[in-house]
Amino acid sequence: MVFVLLSHNQGEIEIIFYTSYLIINLIRVNKNMLSLIW
């Protein structure tokens, strides 16, 4: 939410949300892989 307030450019906001969304998905996949391994 802080990034949205600081950035007035819609493109930058979309990029930030998209990258954070990908990072969250990668973390979830990594946790699933670890649970399968262990």
Q: Which pLDDT does position 8 carry in this prediction?
A: 62
CA distance 36 to 4: 37
H helices of the chain, where? 2-6, 10-37
pLDDT, one tens digit per residue, over 1-38 is 455 555 566 777 788 888 999 999 999 998 888 888 76
CA distance 19 to 26: 11
Q: Which pLDDT does position 21 carry in this prediction?
A: 92
